[in-house]
Amino acid sequence: MTTTTCQIGCECERIEQMIRHTLWSPGAKGIVIGVSGGVDSALAAALCARAVGGGNVLGLSLPSEVTRQEDIDDARRLCDLFAIPFRVVPIAPFLNAAAAMEDYEETPYLKGNLMARIRMTLLYYHANRLGGLVCGTSNKSEYLLGYCTKYGDNAADIQPIIHMYKSRVYECATEVGVPASIIEKTPSAGLWPGQSDESDLGFTYHQIDAALTSLEANRWQAQNATEEMILGKVRASMHKRIPAPSLLNDG
């Protein structure tokens, strides 16, 4: 066993301890998590199952009309592997209801955010129904770049992997036994056919993680053009990481 493997194993154990403490301290009865078939949700679900037992976790696949069947199958396979109860809840009826609203407009941006917020609404519905907590699946790379929907996929009661860059997510996913079919697929939010995270972001995750690591080490002073562009995304998305402005704590 290499030092790196030891470090990854220890990190997973620390996350699992945090999950147990977060769940049992307030007396919650379980965890609800959206499982998309991607590596982030797979790792988060696996860590939850390892921490509190798969029977205390509910995995929900929330497909739209463009979700690939292989992603649903991968999500089901992941849940079976970690003994997590699994349900498929299509979001098409909710999207159709929204489309019937007066003044409804549809662009990729509007529909993508709507889909993310519908999914989070369904996750919280089931968490409320079961007396449980919603587990988020955001990683640090996407969190810092704001590659998420405000009050959508960034809304959660617990965020077990939000401190991990995407490269670390892959390492930990391998360590806990996430299937290769999930680890090796192209990361995608599944908002439209052929969509990929790296195309949306304009950089590979390798470039993003290298730039963010350097920026953190250099007190957020960009050292090259790539870091300058990445830093611009970090600054532009700051509103997603801070509370809404108010006078609550004024004077």
Annotate the chain with three-state secondary structure: CCHHHHHHHHHHHHHHHHHHHHHHCCCCCCEEEECCCCHHHHHHHHHHHHHHCHHHEEEEECCCCCCCHHHHHHHHHHHHHCCCCEEECCCHHHHHHHHCCCCCCCCHHHHHHHHHHHHHHHHHHHHHHHCCEEECCCCHHHHHHCCCCCCCCCCCCECCCCCCCHHHHHHHHHHHCCCHHHHCCCCCCCCCCCCCHHHHHCCCHHHHHHHHHHHHHCCCCCCCHHHHHHHHHHHHCHHHCCCCCCCCCCC
Residue with tokens 């941006």: 109
Q: What is the pLDDT of residues 140-197, one digit of tens each?
A: 999 999 999 999 999 999 999 999 999 999 999 999 999 999 999 999 988 778 889 9
Q: Percentage of the chain with pLDDT > 90?
A: 92
Per residue in 60-91, pLDDT tens? Answer: 999 999 999 999 999 999 999 999 999 999 99
What is the average per-residue pLDDT within 232-251? 91
The pLDDT tens digits of the residues spanning 25-51 come to 888 999 999 999 999 999 999 999 999
Q: Which two tokens stand for residue 153?
A: 């996929």
Distance CA(204)–CA(166), nearest Å, equals: 10
Domains (range + CATH), the chain: 3-240 (3.40.50.620)
- How many other C-beta atoms lie within 10 A of the C-beta of residue 238? 10
The Cα–Cα gap between 134 and 30 comes to: 9
φ/ψ of residue 229, rounded to 5: -70, -40
pLDDT at 6 over 90: no
Instruction: Check pLDDT > 80 for residue 249.
Output: no
Tokens found for residue 14: 């620390």
Instruction: Please tell me the predicted confidence (pLDDT) of residue 1.
Output: 41
Task: Check residue 3 and give its pLDDT.
Answer: 45
Q: Write the pLDDT tens digit of every residue in 199-228.
A: 999 999 999 999 999 999 999 999 999 999
- The predicted pLDDT at position 251 comes to 56
